[in-house]
Structure 1
């Protein structure tokens, strides 16, 4: 347990700092692409640190479960998490809605939005190893992968 104690709390603190700062930057839309990557990966590391910290401090933690206020706060957290999975119709982020619309569009439409001529855009895609014509949908071109979709959009809009 002493080996676990040496890294569990420092890892929890370090990842909390990374998650907190990058989360605030993302909330105010002043983050960079690397902030998002750090936020996502630090989340996994934070989970590891918190689980190890929980193992080390199980007795004090279980004592919290006997306190009404602590149970209420933790229960509220579980409830908020559960509600976050509730489907919201007509709402959501405008950016997410635009990205979904682009994923369902054909490549010609996305190229037009980028301000390029169709042939130029198709040449850019071909140079990147992506074969498409004006009828190919973004979903077909990217295999439905959001990360690839973002790379294609970045490629077209960088021109």
Structure 2
């Protein structure tokens, strides 16, 4: 059994890490969130065992990293990144969370063209025409922009491109 663990710890760690990487990127870009979310959560939990086995197998080289400043610096940077998510929590009830620019963009796309069109110096009907001309077939004046993107089968990033000045 020990030989099996030693043989499979790194390959399993690598395979599950790649699954976690792909599903994490998909979640970040809001692609098929439903099944990527469950995949990412569950397989990231399964990833813990190969990670521990990988550390066990490579313990001496791992400990040697602590003799160099790169490990300490990397851990400090990672901790700071984690603290930023505590300071600006993502997914809070009633808010987008995250860094202020992300929260702002989420607040904008949760509104309808009739609310946000003046910010873009156009009327709601002009915004709807612009969105429909750009392939957002479900665009309506009273429908939230995020819903328009989703129902049109498009990514929210495509919506940003159309609505920003360079999208003109």
Q: Please give the TM-score of this superposition, normalised by the length of structure 1.
A: 0.52
Contact 1:11 1:45 in 2 (8 A): no
Query: Deviations 1:77-105 (Å, cap 9, x if unpaired)?
Result: 1332233223559651659xx8xxxxxxx
CA distance in 1, matches of 2:96, 2:42: 27
Query: Deviations 1:74-131 (Å, cap 9, x if unpaired)?
Result: 2211332233223559651659xx8xxxxxxxxxxxxxxxxxxxxxxxxxxxxxxxxx
Partner of 2:42: 41
Partner of 2:24: 23
Unaligned runs of 5+ in 2: 98-102, 111-168
Q: Compute the RMSD of aligned alpha carbons.
A: 2.5
Partner of 2:54: 53
CA distance in 1, matches of 2:50, 2:83: 23
Question: How many residues end up aligned between the 2 structures?
Answer: 96
CA distance in 2, matches of 1:11, 1:60: 19
Structure 2 SS opposite 1:77: helix
Structure 1 SS opposite 2:54: helix
**Deviation for aligned residue 1:72:** 0.6
Partner of 1:9: 10
Summarize the Cα distance change of 1:80–1:32 in structure 2 as closer, same or farther, 3 Å threshold.
closer
CA distance in 2, matches of 1:74, 1:54: 16
Q: Please give the TM-score of this superposition, normalised by the length of structure 2.
A: 0.50
